[in-house]
């Protein structure tokens, strides 16, 4: 009786090598910073946002989503994120009334822990000052725990 092709010993060795290469590739790619950001769910964006931009500063552990809103919508931004972020596992931490960055009027800080990052993550909703008929909003996401104290409103 003729031996089937899948019973040959070299097939098992080749299969094992291929599976090992795939596993190693996944491990290497999952440790690359841009790979991590591509597959993370982005925070929600407020309806009516314009000039949407997403960029990653020079560090590997943060991403910023920037958009513009009409000047009177600052309270609506805070209410929207307080409602929506809680649904996604974020916990409100505090509000900075006087952020260090003078472009912003205030900054709401949220935090959460995940199984991938048990030390915690930070999300800051930075509401810009009223300039030229618009307000700039930054959704600043960081893969590090909250690092600063702020005043609670």
Q: How far is CA 47 from CA 17, 73, 105, 128, in A?
A: 49, 11, 21, 17
Structure tokens at 89: 């596992």
Domain check: are 19 and 52 in the same one? no
Residue numbers in the chain where pLDDT is lower than 50: 152-153
Domain check: are 55 and 127 in the same one? yes
Q: Which pLDDT belongs to residue 36? A: 56
Cα gap 99→101, rounded to integer Å: 5
Cα gap 136→41, rounded to integer Å: 22
Range(s) of the domain holding residue 3: 1-31
In a domain, 37, yes or no: no
Let me know: does 121 contact 140? Beta carbons within 8 Å: no
Q: Which pLDDT belongs to residue 80? A: 92
Structure tokens at 48: 């009516």
In a domain, 74, yes or no: yes
What's 117's domain CATH number? 3.30.310
Domain check: are 26 and 48 in the same one? no
């Amino acid at each position: 009786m003729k031996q089937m092709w899948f019973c040959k010993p070299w097939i098992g060795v080749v299969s094992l090598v291929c599976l090992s290469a795939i596993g190693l590739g996944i491990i290497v790619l999952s440790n690359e910073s841009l790979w991590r950001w591509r597959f993370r769910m982005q925070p929600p964006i407020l309806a009516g946002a314009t000039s949407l931009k997403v960029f990653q500063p020079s560090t590997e552990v943060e991403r910023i989503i920037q958009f513009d809103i009409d000047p009177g919508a600052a309270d609506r931004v805070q209410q929207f994120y307080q409602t929506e972020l809680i649904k996604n596992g974020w916990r409100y931490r505090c509000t900075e009334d006087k952020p260090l960055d003078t472009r912003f009027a205030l900054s709401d800080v949220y935090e959460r822990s995940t199984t991938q990052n048990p030390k915690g993550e930070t999300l800051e909703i930075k509401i810009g000052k009223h300039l030229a008929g618009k307000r700039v909003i930054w959704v600043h996401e960081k893969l590090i725990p909250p690092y600063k104290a702020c005043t609670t409103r």
